Structure 1
Amino acid sequence: MSKAALSQLSENDIRMLVRHPDNEMRAMAAQRLCRTVRGAELSEGEREIAGELLTYMAKDAAAIVRRALAVTLKNSPKLPHDVAVMLAKDIDSIAVPVLNFSPVFNDDDLIEVLRSKAAAKVAAIARRPSVSGGLVNEIIRFGDSKAVAVLAANDGADISPDQAGEMLARYRSNDLIAEAFIRRRDLPTAIIERLITHISEEAALVLTRKHAVPVDIAIDLANRSRERATIDLIDQSFRTRDLALFVARLKDEGRLTPTLILRAAGCARMRFVEHGLAALAGIRVSKAALMVHDAGPFGLKALCARAGLTDAQAKFVHASAVIFRDLEMSGISYDAEYFQEMMILRVLTLPLKLSDADQIYFLEKLDGLGEGDIFNEGWG
């Protein structure tokens, strides 16, 4: 490799990736190298060596290193095909981002994954920006109801009326499938006709408003209504300077969740954690701050329990507070972005169980540092 390429890929990062015994340091080096591969113009020879490095990352024993590779290059056409196939066979938290987004897969690659019937992987393929009719058949064949609902709602999925009919017939008692179809932007008339016998009054009214179904049909469907539960994915918008008022609004709207507290803690947003736990527990912020930072694990455990967090979430918040304090007292002058990067890297290597969704969230936060931070509004 040329000296220019070595400067692009960084000899120090390569050395750290290959030799460093610490998982989090290898993950940090892996992410920097992947960012360089993603953004650099490399010659054919340089791409070959970069491919060897990526293959090396994909074989690392530490999941956090492989996850850093998957998250950072999930959208990139520069991810080598053979490396993408390796990642697709990995554990869900590594395979899902790549299966969801990577443009380097062909249908045969994806069909092989679908045949494994791994629920999270099937759902990831169903959510891809473009899903061919052939893949639709295989998702219906090998997927569960959740994957089929994801497919039904995906405007990028090429679903024929016959395939829609099969999906609705197979999951006749599952309201989510019909509701997912209704959420599509452009619903063909043939699919609307198949939906009519499957939906409730509530869904029929949505169908009427969104896809111009005659009102008399919606009224007729009222006789077939039944109870359902709807889970809303809330767009958490954290743009505010007035933290106390903002947290109060989140609580009033039911958006101040334990998951949000946990993720804020891992991102070094301890003022938000203090205000959030205080609001959920119904105590003063000053008291919550003391319990988060000064009262030891038992005081914080009691606070988290009162706020509705699980024991596992409380342990994570406590560990995050300890890491935050250690970084603050290290004597090193961190800028805000590097402080957060170090914080996230350390919480990712804690010997605590994090959900796949939380692990991916923190890795994507790492990848997005410097490109805007939804927590970075002076809440540190």
Structure 2
Amino acid sequence: MTAIASPDLIAKLDHVLKAGSPDLCTRMLQEVAGLFLEDAHRLSARHVEVFDDILLRLSESVELRTLTTLSRSLADLHLVPRKLARRLANHDDADVAAPILRACDCIPETDLIDIAWMRAEGHLSAIAGRKAVSQELTDILLMRGDGSVLRVLAGNPGADITSAGLAMMVDAAECDEEIAGALIARKDLPRRVLADLVRRSTPRQQARLLKIARPDIQDAIRAAIDAGAARAFANPPATIDDAKARAKAMTKPFSV
């Protein structure tokens, strides 16, 4: 643990940063990150801060591939260099940002909200897959995300989706069977939303939903299908009497 603060390593860091060589920075970053990962489980908060400052400086001069590897290696750690994690989460490249956005608990909610407003689908999908996604975040993701983001969100049991958000999900599910299937699998889906989803599905889609649904909601799906069929039978589509229509057209005055 004291290796990171050794005079030799600090001197080497200063030399690397002054030299400005990407290759030197990459090798130094890998060396320091290796030291951190090796001892991460027993480091004190102070030691993590030291690593954080050094890794943050080194990360400014390395290529995307190295940053992506670093992001993946840090994402699941219990104790993460916070400043470095926030920089990686805000990175323009989604491959760099996604591991941290998806798994790192130390990213503040305010950062996640800002990123959700500013970034594109790669960042949004990663946020949608977090262990817990707040209602404010889900609303932003639903407003800004494409189908791939909505699929991740619908399939995430940790996403807290509002009533308005569920209505948007049902709208999207009409033309996306994967979203529909993910919604059916949610244990927190209100029965009224389930019924609406089934009602707005085609007979083929209804059969699929019934097939993949949990046993405890299959009766509710059958009831929604039967109710929809009963309404359709009671209110058949209006038809036009062709003979009456022709007669009406013939008696209508002709104007020039």
Alignment TM-score, normalising by the size of structure 2? 0.71
Name the counterpart of 1:51.
52
CA root-mean-square deviation: 3.3
Relative distance call for 1:178 and 1:13 in structure 2 (3 A) is: farther
Name the counterpart of 1:120.
122
Shift of residue 178, structure 1, vs aligned partner? 1.1
1:1-380 correspondence runs (5 A): 5-6=2-3, 15=12, 19=16, 21=23, 25-26=27-28, 28-36=30-38, 38-42=40-44, 44=46, 46-90=47-91, 91-170=93-172, 172-199=174-201, 200=205, 201-207=207-213, 209=215, 211-214=217-220, 216-217=222-223, 220=226
Relative distance call for 1:155 and 1:43 in structure 2 (3 A) is: closer
Relative distance call for 1:190 and 1:221 in structure 2 (3 A) is: closer
Shift of residue 210, structure 1, vs aligned partner? 5.4
Structure 2 distance, partners of 1:186, 1:17, is: 54
Shift of residue 203, structure 1, vs aligned partner? 1.5
Is the Cα–Cα contact under 8 Å of residues 96 and 121 in structure 1 kept in the other structure?
A: yes
Task: Encode CA deviations 1:115-164: one digit per residue, 9 max, x unaligned.
Answer: 12411110000000000111111111111111011101100011133321
Is the Cα–Cα contact under 8 Å of residues 153 and 181 in structure 1 kept in the other structure?
A: yes
Relative distance call for 1:149 and 1:43 in structure 2 (3 A) is: closer
Name the counterpart of 2:252.
none
Q: Which structure has more RCO (C-alpha within 8 Å, separation ≥ 6)?
A: 1
AA at the equivalent of 1:108: T
Identity of aligned residues (%): 21
Which has the higher Rg, Structure 1 or Structure 2?
2
Structure 1 distance, partners of 2:94, 2:7, is: 30
AA at the equivalent of 1:164: L
Structure 2's unaligned 5+ residue stretches are 230-256
Relative distance call for 1:218 and 1:207 in structure 2 (3 A) is: farther
Structure 2 distance, partners of 1:142, 1:14, is: 47
Relative distance call for 1:33 and 1:62 in structure 2 (3 A) is: farther
Relative distance call for 1:64 and 1:81 in structure 2 (3 A) is: same
Is the Cα–Cα contact under 8 Å of residues 23 and 64 in structure 1 kept in the other structure?
A: no
Name the SS of the counterpart of 1:158 in structure 2: coil
Structure 1 window deviating more from structure 2 (136-145 vs 160-169): it is: 160-169
Structure 2 distance, partners of 1:96, 1:124, is: 5
Relative distance call for 1:8 and 1:169 in structure 2 (3 A) is: same
Structure 2 distance, partners of 1:36, 1:109, is: 29
Structure 1's unaligned 5+ residue stretches are 224-380
Shift of residue 98, structure 1, vs aligned partner? 0.2
Structure 2 distance, partners of 1:222, 1:9, is: 74
Name the counterpart of 1:246.
none
Relative distance call for 1:141 and 1:10 in structure 2 (3 A) is: farther
Structure 2 distance, partners of 1:27, 1:43, is: 20
Q: Which has the higher helix share?
A: 2
